[in-house]
Each structure stands twice: as C-alpha cells, then as structure tokens.
Chains A and B, each alone.
Chain A
Amino acid sequence: MKNENKNKQMIKGTKNLALWTLLWVASLALASFGPKFLWNENTTWSILAIVTNTAFGAGMIWANIRYLSVLDELQKKIQLDAMGIALGVGVVGGLSYSVTDIANVISSDAEIGFLVILISISYMIALLVGKKRYA
C-alpha cells in the first residue's frame, strides 16, 4: 500500500518533469528561432519569448526537485552520482573546450550548445552505469 502511493507519486513526478521539460525545450526553440522566422526581430516579442522560456525553466527546476524528493535512498544516490559526474565533466570539459578556443586550437568559436550536449550525455551514461551497478 505504501509503495503504491510512492509509485503513483513517482509516476506523477516523472510526468510533471517531462511536461515542464517539453515546455522549456519548446519555448527555447521559440525564443531561438522566433526572431528570425516568426516576428521579424521584434524586440518586444523576443523579450516575451525569453521571459516565457526562463519561467518554464524555473518550472522545470521545481519539477526536478519534486521528482527527486519522491525517490528512495538508492535512487537518490544514483541520481546524485550521475549529477556529480555530469557537473564534473561539464566544468572540466567546458573549460578545456573554452581554452581550445582561446588558444585558437579550434577554428570555430566555442558554442554553449556543445557543453549542454556534453553534460546531457555524461549524465545519461552515468545514470545507466549507476542503474546497472545496483541491479
């Protein structure tokens, strides 16, 4: 009975997080491509899109905190380990990438998108490894 409630909370938390993430990604796409393709560089619309994106981002963070709060202690440990690894890889990898740009080792500018991809991939790999380790 206890776990039924816990499972329901987890499913609800996961759906909530997925919804906020979807809204954040969609609003990010709108804020990024809207000025060029939808409102012809109109500043008011751009500010509105950015504010909306930031608000959805805050909602996503809140949903993530709520999601983490319903996990049990092992699941929290797996998440914490994965987040720690992703943060470490992000900081070290991001700064190394930035230095390659400053030192002109790479021809193009360092893009923040690569850092987001690096953090996301390292988080997902660490999560899978963690789940497998305790399986």
Chain B
Amino acid sequence: MKNKLKVLRAERDMTQADLADSLAVSRQTINAIEKGKFDPSLPLAFKISKLFKLPIEEIFSNTETE
C-alpha cells in the first residue's frame, strides 16, 4: 500500500518524531509506514486521516487495485 504520509508531514513541517508523538506511536512505526514496509491498522489510519484533515483514500492508496 502506498501513502503520502511523508509529503503531508513535510508540508506541515513536522518531523517523524512530531508525527509519532501526535499519533502516540513510535518513530520507527512512522518510518516503516512512510517507507511502505508496514500498513497501519484501520484505527491508526483514521487517526492519521483526522490529524491531516483528509479522507483516508487521499492519504493511502492500494497499489494492487491501481
């Protein structure tokens, strides 16, 4: 699954640590999601969506269906 997390984070001038702090996860988790190594759970995806005030489908895209 692809995502725009890195871009969205950069646009808001946030570090991985800042984002991790806002979502109450580790920095390693943010790094793994950004690199596409780990897909977040639905609750975490909703938290990310709420934080960036964007729908989930604008942040995450399923590469298999593209």
Residues of A within 8 A of B (CB): 1-6, 72-75, 77, 131, 133-135
Contacts and interface: CB of A to CB of B under 8 A. Distances in A.
Contacts of B61: none
B29 A74 contact: yes
B44 to A, nearest CB: 6
A119 to B, nearest CB: 25
Nearest to B33: A74
Contacts of A74: 25-26, 28-29, 32, 38
B21 A2 contact: yes
Interface of B: 20-26, 28-29, 31-32, 37-38, 40-41, 44
- Residues of B contacting A: mostly: helix
A72 B20 CA distance: 10
Contact of A134 (B20, B28, B40): B28
Nearest to A134: B32
Nearest to B30: A74
Given A73-B40, A73-B41, A3 B21 contact: yes
A2 B28 contact: no
Contacts of B28: 74-75, 131, 134-135
Contact of A72 (B22, B25, B31, B37): B25
Contacts of B31: 134-135
Nearest to B37: A134
Please list the 6 inter-chain residue pairs (A to B) with the smallest Cβ-Cβ separation, ordered nearest first: A2-B24, A3-B21, A72-B25, A74-B29, A134-B32, A6-B24
